Amino acid sequence: MIHLKQLAAWPRWSATTWALIAVLAGGCSATIGDNKGPGGTTIGPDGKPISTGGGGDGMTPGGSACSVPNAVPQRIVRLDYNKLSNSLTTLLGPDVLKGVVMPANVGNVRQRDFQALFTEGSQFDPTLLSSTFTMIDQAVSTNLTGAPFNALTGCPATPTDACVQAFLPTFAQKVYRRPITADEKTAFLKFYADQKTSGSPIEEAGRLAIEAVLMSPPALYRMEIGQPTLSGYEVASQLSYFITDHPPDQELLDAAEAGKLITADGKAAQIDRLIKSSAGIENLSQVMDAYYQLGQLDQTIKDPMLFPEFTVGLRDAMYAETDKFIRDTLWHGKVNDLLTSPKSFANSLLSTIYGISGGTDANTFAPVTFPSGQRTGLLGQASILAMRSRTNTTSVVSRGLYINSSMLCLVRPPEPPAAVKDKVTAQLADATATERQKSDFRTSTSPCSGCHTGFDPYGLALENYDAIGRYRATYAGNVPIDASATLPASAGGAHIAGGVELESVVAQDGLFGRCLTSNLMKYALADVTLVDPQDCGVGTAFEKYQSGDQTFATMVREVALSNTLSNRGAGQ
């Protein structure tokens, strides 16, 4: 277990930098390490998170007690790498990360994680801390010298003490996203003076102070501790990083200072502004691409002997189509259109796959409408279908699990028990059996049937689409494909004829919308463990969305206005 104050003992960073970090950490009692998972979730002896339920409004819309009550604790939330890089460019300028070695896939939009802290880890460990400090150190020491330093600070070419000392408190307030305390101001001004005493010129001393402020805990964390209801400044950070992935702009901070973010009307006005902003539209579009795991296309491989059409160009076209479809639907359609719309975009490569007329070349994507009853929405797009297939054929299991988890938020079953692993492997490799025959075996054989009856039907409904998304009515040898299925009871139990009916049913019964609402709540909280699809906050936000215009902007708005985002359990 490493306390923030103890980080000063690490040898990698200069003593002067650690000196300020240690001073500024003095008011933070949180520990790093312990048995905590993403978002502070307690980890049990089996290494898995112990769920504490989800956040909520305390009551269901009908007034009955919540089945999953408010359980979002008071906490500190680490800024993930993406948010940190966006904060640096916002604070220091758009070119500040030029030449900086970026950790993980930061900057690669196609490989963005939907919930970064789930994969990065919510608290700092030595690797995370080293990567974070390296990024900040390289950005400041390399790209903040001379003219860029003067432009940031507003100081003359030969900066003066008075200018740097006047700049630092203003800068720290922007970095901390709140007013600084007297002790904080004293600490970093003393740090700046100590650098000068040690022989650093004014610009170098100022640059070291800037770097140290950026490395301090209030810069690297969002604080949500102290009161059961978030303060205006805490709300500003919560909303801004949720909607735009950037720190609060001046208008949002001004609203916090004026007390407008602790009123429903004041908060709603800022939420609406952020959703409509270019940063909000771009971030939320990327978030949805990440949520549907489009980046997995880059690792998708097909047998070139069976699918010679599956080139890098086609794979990129699949990504581009779904990205364009998601963006168009989010901002010009309704949420259910993500599943039910027969419209999309296609270039010449995709037109061949789909058997329709689209763009005239590989670089031109034209709006298209699919033949009636053939395919609709995300589950009819080649990207999703190809990602959720094997190298040589389709996969009822992979497609079924994807719908079960990503589209409906139903419980993901465990892996097959070791006792039947060999039998499962042999059955999957049987090239003489169709996917339905294999599914029939699984759903009628114990212990497989206990799980597969809960998700195989979704995959069976998509059997009319081959491993790269082409529509087909028969298997090889002219064997007819039966894509009908009876949905599990958890999805309503309806009998459907195929993929188009599947998407229509799960969209109209609310399963899809509620699932997406709960996942947006998880994203907003930067924690996948604190929200249950059945909790009161999700239910309230979903019902308000459903009674409105049912657009994505309204869904985001209702999630952002939820008490789940603004209330923290006292003493938890």
What mean pLDDT value characterizes the chain? 87
> Containing H/E element for 346?
strand 343-346
Q: Is the pLDDT of residue 33 over 50?
A: no
The sign of the dihedral angle between the CA atoms of 563, 564, 568, 572 is: positive
Q: Is the pLDDT of residue 364 over 90?
A: yes
Q: Is the pLDDT of residue 548 over 90?
A: yes
Q: Is the pLDDT of residue 25 over 70?
A: no
pLDDT for the residue numbered 535:
80
Are 146 and 95 contacting, i.e. CB atoms less than 8 angstroms apart? no
Euclidean distance between CA atoms 140 and 206, whole angstroms:
11
Residue owning tokens 């938020």: 409
CA distances for 361 relative to 315, 326, 346, 426, 482, angstroms: 15, 22, 10, 43, 35
CA distances for 9 relative to 4, 14, 15, 192, angstroms: 10, 10, 9, 21
Euclidean distance between CA atoms 351 and 447, whole angstroms:
43
Q: At what angle do helices 511-525 and 552-561 cross, to 10 degrees?
A: 50
Q: Is the pLDDT of residue 76 over 60?
A: yes
Residue owning tokens 């001393």: 205
Structure tokens at 117: 């802290």
Least confident of 230-244, 247-261, 266-280, 534-548: 534-548
List the beta bridge partners of residue 59.
65
**What SS3 class is residue 159?**
coil
pLDDT for the residue numbered 28:
39
Position 443 confidence tier, pLDDT thresholds 50, 70, 90: confident
pLDDT for the residue numbered 7:
37
What lies within 8 Å, CB to CB, of 246 at 6+ separation is 83, 86, 87, 90, 240, 279, 283
Q: Is the pLDDT of residue 540 over 70?
A: yes
b/e map of 222-258 (b: 16 or more CB within 10 Å)? Answer: bbbeeeeebbbbbbbbbbbbbbbbbbbbeebbebbee
Are 355 and 482 contacting, i.e. CB atoms less than 8 angstroms apart? no
CA distances for 465 relative to 174, 180, 197, 380, 479, angstroms: 52, 58, 71, 8, 14
Q: How many angstroms from the chain centroid is the CA of residue 347?
A: 28
Mean local confidence (pLDDT), 178-192:
96
What lies within 8 Å, CB to CB, of 265 at 6+ separation is none
Euclidean distance between CA atoms 220 and 207, whole angstroms:
18
Euclidean distance between CA atoms 201 and 146, whole angstroms:
12
pLDDT for the residue numbered 36:
33
Phi-psi category of 221—alpha, beta or left, where left has phi over 0 and alpha has psi -120 to 50?
beta
What lies within 8 Å, CB to CB, of 400 at 6+ separation is 455, 456, 457, 458, 459, 460
List the beta bridge partners of residue 366.
346
Mean local confidence (pLDDT), 488-514:
94
Are 340 and 369 contacting, i.e. CB atoms less than 8 angstroms apart? no
Mean local confidence (pLDDT), 519-536:
88
**Cis bond before residue 414 (omega within 30° of 0):** no
Bigger pLDDT: 470 vs 44: 470
DSSP letter string over 11-59?
SSS-HHHHHHHHHHGGG---EESTTB-GGGPBB-TTSSB--------SB
Residue type, 266: G
pTM of the model: 0.87
Least confident of 132-146, 244-258, 364-378, 525-539: 525-539
Query: Counting Cβ atoms within 10 Å, is residue 571 exposed (0-12), middle (13-18) or buried (19+)?
Result: exposed
Position 549 confidence tier, pLDDT thresholds 50, 70, 90: very high
- Radius of gyration of the chain from Cα atoms? 26
pLDDT for the residue numbered 66:
54
Mean local confidence (pLDDT), 453-474:
96
> Containing H/E element for 496?
strand 495-496
| Top-ranked range on mean pLDDT: pick from 13-22, 125-134, 546-555 | 546-555
* Residues 145-163 pLDDT 10s: 999 999 999 999 999 999 9
Q: Is the pLDDT of residue 361 over 80?
A: yes
Q: Rounded to the nearest 5°, which phi and psi values hold at 225?
A: -130, 150
- DSSP character at residue 336: T
* Residues 301-328 pLDDT 10s: 999 999 999 999 999 999 999 999 999 9
Bigger pLDDT: 5 vs 149: 149
| Top-ranked range on mean pLDDT: pick from 57-61, 415-419, 534-538 | 534-538
Mean local confidence (pLDDT), 370-395:
96
Bigger pLDDT: 13 vs 485: 485
